[in-house]
Amino acid sequence: MKGQRLGWAPYALLLPSLVFLAVFFAAPMVQAFGLAFQNDAGNWSLESWRTMFADAQFREALVTTLILIVILIPVQFVLAMAMALVINARLKWSGLWLYIYAIPLGISELAAGIIWFAIFTQQGWLNSILEGLGILDRPYIFLNYQNPAWLISAVVLAEAWRATSIIMIILVAGLQGIPRDFFEAADVFGATSWQKVRRVILPMLRPSVQVALILRTILAFQAFAVVIALAGGGLTVLSSEAYRWYSDYRDSHVAAAYAGFILMLSVVSTILFLWLLPVREEQQG
Amino acid sequence: MAEIRLQGITKIFDKKVRAVDEVDLTIADREFMVLLGPSGCGKTTLMRMIAGLEYPEHGRVSIGNRDVTDLPPRRRDISMVFQSYAVFPHLTVFDNVAFGLRMKNIAKAEIKRRVEGAAELVQLGPYLERYPAQLSGGQRQRVAVARAIVMEPAVLLMDEPLSNLDALLRLNFRAELKRLVGELKTTTIYVTHDQVEAMSLGDRIAVMREGRIVQCGTPMEIYDRPANRFVGGFIGSPPMNFLSGRIERSNGHLQVGLGDQMLTVPATLGGRTAGEVLVGIRAENIEAEAAPAEGAIAARTEVVEPLGSHLLVTAAVGDQKLKIQARTDFPARPDAPLWLRPEPDKLRWFDPESGQEIDAR
């Protein structure tokens, strides 16, 4: 297509999505930043940011969010990679596995949180099973605000269950773009399965890995509904603080500051991934 | 010693397609064996079973007196040049060539020595630090070859390694490959659908069709005495001419009638004395004459193609067409009559039903 005269056609085709993005994404984002840097009187000010940083919950929300990310991303990545390799091995029924793995993708974040709540709650499935097996003689309260380790574990489990297949789908798409000859060459030249993954598959999959990690990390910074459903007020993350400031304290300025802070963290993490996993043109087939 | 023995190898795809059907083949140590056939004949599948990339439903593969049928590729002491090259894009030329050695945990200094040696052999010395994307197709091909030979394997497998190169590169690299493999003296199996490549490279050629080996022999044997009509038509450019004739007996001698003309034949035709027979003769084994001559068959010129070194003449005997290689000074003209004198000892005879050669010697 290079050098071909296309006239206005490409711009016309781009226009609908540009308008959509401008109206529903760019404008609210600019507004939110405006709110974050203004005080109640409508003057420019860093007051909301000072309030946010000074807030007793801020530190806890930030630490919890980071813990979630530090645990979730590697766990999900390893799981997703394993699932993707199972599917790409084209064993019998591998199509079926793809659908099973993808089921959580069809379930909303809040519904996923409620499903796991139903598992972990006092009269939930987990307690029923453990009691039935005689391991517990009375229900154990997993989701207790005095026991943040359990709360975080439950959130990690629910998030991993809900969102691992997003990573998997990106990795499967990437894997299917790699000609099988490369895997066979690795086999012929003596690579074990692990060496094949480490020396051939992961490096060749780098563009997909990069996209998957960036996407998943951004989504993890926004984790909200699952946390609310499982932990209620027992566990706080950055986006639930934004929500709390907006709906409980009716302070849209501090809420906007939280939103802006999440955006900045997302940008920093994206830059970090781009820098840690550079995709060099000469290294692509 | 790396003799390869294939016994009753059968590969069935989708429970019904017999891609490779009961193949028996022994390849001698240091032999260069070419598997030749049209696409879909099972040659690549057969090679992949020797590599361990496919497993046969029946039969055994042994390399150097070791049964490797159930072993994965990395335990077979083989290496392979892929048709697509499969040179890893994320590794430099050096790392690509070193890949197999590193998997074997060979000492760093020795890897360096061997990689540089192999790169020298295929003239990649100056490119060791480059990435494949920065190389031409021909250079990538050399990386694939270097990566295979650096392993010093018992068996070298090559799957259509020249088919992605342009014509001139292919011609040059063919000769280079022949020299290289000749120096290495590694047992080599080479898959191709190109009969010229097969002729030029192979110590022996196994011609395959529909999952079976239809003939196996030296290039000259296969060219000179094709075992059946398929091989004669597949090997050689132009392919062997085939004319159908009728065996007749006159004055106690056997003759074969082509239309209303008679062709003198050897004393016996495998014991046949009547019926249809297929005559095979190669274009270069027919002498063209511009005037009637004793024992020559009258024909009519249809097409004349000057090919520089010779003329390729398409002629018709009755309603049967054949191609003749004539000297460039032969006065060929479309629609002009000409007379054909086949070399008697180059005539080959085939059964018209089965297509199999009839031994008339």
Hey, is the C-beta of A179 within 8 angstroms of any chain B C-beta?
yes
Residue A3 pLDDT > 60: no
- Identify which of A190, A200, A206 has the shortest CB distance to residue B104: A190
pLDDT at A142: 79
> Which regions of chain B are under pLDDT 50?
none
CA distance B296 to B303: 20
Average pLDDT over residues A214-224: 90
pLDDT at B54: 92
Q: Edge-to-edge strand order for the sheet containing B58-63?
A: B17-27, B4-13, B58-63, B66-67
| Amino acid identity, position A245 | W
Task: State which residues form the domain around B345.
Answer: 241-358
Residue A4: pLDDT band by 50, 70, 90 thresholds?
A: low
Query: What is the CATH number for A153?
Result: 1.10.3720.10
Q: Are residues B213 and B316 in the same domain?
A: no
In a domain? residue A134? yes
Average pLDDT over residues A44-63: 90
User: How long, in residues, is chain B?
Assistant: 361
Strands in B178-317 per DSSP E: 187-192, 204-209, 212-217, 241-250, 253-258, 261-264, 275-281, 286-289, 297-306, 311-317
Q: Are residues B171 and B293 in the same domain?
A: no
Q: Are residues B191 and B63 in the same domain?
A: yes
CA distance A252 to A247: 8
CA distance B36 to B59: 21
Domain-terminating residue out of B234, B255, B272? B234
Hey, is the C-beta of A157 within 8 angstroms of any chain B C-beta?
no
pLDDT at A223: 86
Residue A101 pLDDT > 60: yes
Residues of B with CB under 8 A from a CB of A: 51-53, 72-74, 78-80, 82-84, 86, 88-91, 99-100, 103-104, 131-134, 147, 151
The half-sphere exposure of B286 on its side-chain side, counting CA atoms within 13 A, is: 31
ipTM: 0.84
Give the contacts of B292 (CB within 8 A, at least 6 positions apart): B298, B339
Query: What is the CATH number for B10?
Result: 3.40.50.300
CB A34 within 8 A of CB A122: no
Task: State which residues form the domain around A79.
Answer: 74-215
Number of domains in chain A: 1
Q: Are residues B91 and B53 in the same domain?
A: yes
Nearest-Cα distance to chain A for B86, in Å, is: 5
Question: Tell me: the pLDDT tens digits for B257-303?
Answer: 887 788 877 767 777 778 888 999 999 999 998 888 887 889 999 99
- Degrees, nearest 5: CA angle B70-A193-B49: 30
Number of domains in chain B: 2
CB B237 within 8 A of CB B196: yes
Which residue has 């404008």 as its token pair? Answer: A27
Q: Are residues B227 and B247 in the same domain?
A: no
In a domain? residue A47? no
Q: Are B74 and A187 a contacting pair at CB < 8 A?
A: yes
